[in-house]
Amino acid sequence: MLDSMIRGVLKPFDRALRQAPPPPDGPPTLTLRSLHTAGFVLEHAGHTVVVDPYVSRPSAWETIAGPLRPDVEAIARHIPKADDVLIGHAHHDHVLDAPDLCKQTGARFIGSPDACNVARAAGLPEAQILPTIGREDIPCGPMTARGLPSRHGRVYFGRIPLSGPIPVPPPWPPRFRDLKHGLVLNWLVTAGDLRLGHIDSADFIEDELAGHTCDVLCLCAIGRKGRPGYTETAIRLLKPRYVVACHWDLFFGPPERPSVELPGCDLAGFLGEIRAAGATPVVLDFGDVLAL
């Protein structure tokens, strides 16, 4: 009931905003598949890296009432293969599905010490857990991942939601309030001659981005008004050709449902900001693929 009421007053996704550049002339070097929220599946040279998977997506009422239980069937259906899983921060809509995805596929769980405590709580073997505080190159098959320490954005009412560390494994299954964000990491993933950046919350530390560039940047849409100059500054520093909008959709209920914008997101306005900053915006619906 609560989920239906929320959807009834929100803005449906305007399908006219859905856009991606034409595919390359030859076989793609890198493919990027949208899982919605801040999640993506990256494929390069037979290796699969998944970032911030969240396809369980309990309803609004289930999220509030808790506890949160990963939908193992949905995880298997939507992400049948993974070799490495990268976590940007430990809020439930970024980390909840990752331990079970790693159990199903044998993938490594790579994230902050806080996120790794979530993996431990879920019973993931220590051999599959790789903690990082960033600023190191982590080989992921033919790809390389590097975490850049960051900050969580101010989403609603000028506040950072559920801030703080997770110093010990939380209860499992957790309630959403058990999963604070912990150390936030932006990711740079190098795949051959291409580099992808991933900013899953609408803030960053400029000194950490300085000196890095990427061809494609996945950039969080919601909460960006809490950081003046967010879109322009991220694009100026990282110099991407394409910017893929992420974290713009309402993440309650199965991802196969028609997409709805998060309140206050203004996706169309975000695309205008990207163009004004000199990059090409990309909008992917759930399951859409960007091939490069």
Mean pLDDT (the chain, rounded): 96
What percentage of the chain exceeds 90 in pLDDT?
A: 93
The secondary structure element, H or E, covering residue 237 is helix 230-238
Signed CA dihedral, 145, 147, 153, 159: sign only: positive
Residues 131/113, Cβ–Cβ less than 8 Å: yes
pLDDT for 231-264, tens place per residue?
999 999 999 999 999 999 999 999 999 999 999 9
- Domain ranges within the chain, ordered by starting residue: 30-282
Q: Can you list the positions of beta strands (E) in 22-105? A: 31-36, 39-44, 47-51, 84-86
> Could you give the CA distance from residue 137 to residue 107 in angstroms, rounded to a whole number?
18
Residues 224/202, Cβ–Cβ less than 8 Å: yes
Tokens of 164: 């703080």
> Could you give the CA distance from residue 88 to residue 16 in angstroms, rounded to a whole number?
29
pTM: 0.96
> Could you give the CA distance from residue 69 to residue 26 in angstroms, rounded to a whole number?
42
> Could you give the CA distance from residue 246 to residue 291 in angstroms, rounded to a whole number?
17
Q: Can you list the positions of beta strands (E) in the chain? A: 31-36, 39-44, 47-51, 84-86, 108-111, 129-131, 137-140, 143-150, 184-191, 194-199, 216-220, 242-246, 280-282, 289-291
**What is the predicted pLDDT for the residue at 9?**
61
Counting as low any pLDDT under 70, the low residues of the chain are 1-9
* Range 30-282: architecture per CATH: 4-Layer Sandwich (3.60)
Residues 199/149, Cβ–Cβ less than 8 Å: no
